[in-house]
Chain A
Amino acid sequence: EAGVAQSPRYKIIEKRQSVAFWCNPISGHATLYWYQQILGQGPKLLIQFQNNGVVDDSQLPKDRFSAERLKGVDSTLKIQPAKLEDSAVYLCASSAEDSHNEQFFGPGTRLTVL
């Protein structure tokens, strides 16, 4: 079975620019997650979708970050405008409908903000 796909793999932008990341979860997985992982730290949940509805976005900096999952399948995460502290790896994960299930992670997008 195909894994979680993410693109791009790497992105370098200047501060105040905008950037978007794309994620395609494993087919049939209802839940999709976006995480931010700063170097040397564990992944931090930004937003969690169940189908196309938001379950949790309590740690999403909503003044600059937005995410959508319009048709309940793939998703985009946008940062506008970017700050230096947004430099991190952005990981997308998905899991099946049942709770307690393992999360399957994509390879991540490494963002560098200059």
Chain B
Amino acid sequence: SQKIEQNSEALNIQEGKTATLTCNYTNYSPAYLQWYRQDPGRGPVFLLLIRENEKEKRKERLKVTFDTTLKQSLFHITASQPADSATYLCALETGGGNKLTFGTGTQLKVEL
């Protein structure tokens, strides 16, 4: 069966450290993968897109990797800040017209 798995347990890290979130998938062959941030009571907000032929993408303190052999994407936030505390969702392209299937999300908490 098709699955998208993200760390179900919350990730707590100290301010200034690098947070690494994992997205694993089975029985999908996405052309691209996106990462979104969701704050309580709000809709998800787009962060980064990485295509199947790209190994790595960076944007400011964010870095995403995409390994189509391992069927895994890693999302890194360097020099993390309390304002980075949120739920992070990975989303795979699973159909034409930009159809996305979302993972369950990982809650990140950055402590002082």
The answer to whether B49 and A48 have CB atoms under 8 Å apart is no
Least distance between B99 CB and chain A CB atoms (Å): 6
Least distance between B102 CB and chain A CB atoms (Å): 3
| Distance A55 CA – B100 CA, assembled complex (angstroms) | 13
The answer to whether B99 and A43 have CB atoms under 8 Å apart is no
The answer to whether B101 and A41 have CB atoms under 8 Å apart is no
What 0/1 readout, one digit per residue, does chain B (38-58) give for beta carbons within 8 Å of chain A? Answer: 000111111001010000000
Count: A-B pairs, CB below 8 Å: 62
Q: Is the interface of B mostly helix, strand, loop or mixed?
A: strand
| Distance A95 CA – B51 CA, assembled complex (angstroms) | 18
Query: Which residues of B50-104 have CB atoms within 8 Å of chain A's CB atoms?
Result: 51, 89, 91, 93, 95-104
| Distance A31 CA – B34 CA, assembled complex (angstroms) | 17
Residues of A within 8 Å of B43, CB to CB, are 4, 91, 93, 105-108
Residue of B nearest to A35 (CB): B102
Query: Number of A residues whose C-beta is below 8 Å from B?
Result: 26
Residue of A nearest to B48 (CB): A102
Of the candidates A41, A99, A104, which one forms a contact with B97 in the assembled complex, judged by CB atoms under 8 Å apart?
A: A99
Residues of A within 8 Å of B42, CB to CB, are 107-108
Residues of A within 8 Å of B102, CB to CB, are 35, 42-44
Q: Is A14 an interface residue (CB 8 A)?
A: no
The answer to whether B104 and A45 have CB atoms under 8 Å apart is no
The answer to whether B100 and A45 have CB atoms under 8 Å apart is yes
| Distance A70 CA – B95 CA, assembled complex (angstroms) | 23
Can you report 6 A-B residue pairs in the complex whose CB atoms are below 8 A from each other?
A41-B105, A42-B103, A43-B44, A45-B100, A103-B44, A105-B45
- Extra inter-chain contacts (15) besides given A40-B104, A48-B99, A99-B97, CB under 8 Å: A41-B104, A41-B105, A42-B89, A42-B91, A43-B89, A55-B96, A99-B98, A100-B31, A100-B32, A100-B51, A103-B44, A105-B43, A105-B44, A107-B43, A108-B43
